[in-house]
Amino acid sequence: MLRTLTGLTSSGRRLSSTLAMGATVKQRCDSIRQSAEDRRRHRGLLLANNLRVLLVSDPEADKAAAAMAVQVGHLSDPQDVEGLAHFCEHMLFMGTKKYPNEAEYTKFLNDHGGSSNAYTSNDETNYHFDVAPEHFKGALDRFAQFFISPLFDESSTEREMNAVHSEHEKNVANDQWRLMRVQSSTLRPGHPHCKFSTGNRETLNQPDVRERLLQFHQ
């Protein structure tokens, strides 16, 4: 599973020093090809854990931001738990071992002029946030715990399952989503793209869904 972290800061050193505390840099690249109109500074890093990092320094930015791209999407859903990748995306926001309060991440960002979001596509799940630059380190630490030690607490499971179900119901009347579903349903039976990508209560309400989540995240 490949992961890529992109960070945008008003000072490229900030993300570099934050990353250096947790992982060894195995390779560094300062010769990144970019548009002649792009005045920002870029640096690529490969960490010892094979996390690929792109640092972007923009002195004119008024926010610091980061995004993590995990190269696993709904095509990797188990056949018997369709929508598990999307459900995993939702559940990662519901507290971690280091920050067990499920509101901690969002509250920290809101308190410091930031925001966050995520999406699950065919072969990628992307998580991202922005925040006031002086609070970037604290936000990045909270963000990193999603990928280290999520709780997947049982008390949050049914609530987030309902949230995924509501999202699906909202999509039912959307022509773009309807077209995507028509396309997927006309593919060769058994092809990964035939699966129901977003999931709902019916596909996710399994007695062992928490254990399946933990396995999928791992």
Q: Which of 89, 102, 167, 202 is catalytic?
A: 89
Which amino acid, one-letter code, is at 129?
F
Planar angle of CA 20, 117, 123, nearest 5 degrees: 80
Given CA atoms 126, 95, 141, 9 in this order, what sign does their dihedral have? positive
Tokens 């000072």 label which residue? 11
CA atoms within 13 A on the CB side of 159: 9
Reply yes or no on whether 89 is catalytic.
yes
Cα–Cα nearest to 117, from 149, 92, 137, 84: 92
One-character DSSP codes across 153-186: -HHHHHHHHHHHHHHHHHHHT-HHHHHHHHHHHT
Contact 65, 129 (CB under 8 A): yes
Spatial distance between the Cα atoms of 92 and 71, rounded to a whole number of angstroms? 16
Active site residues: 89
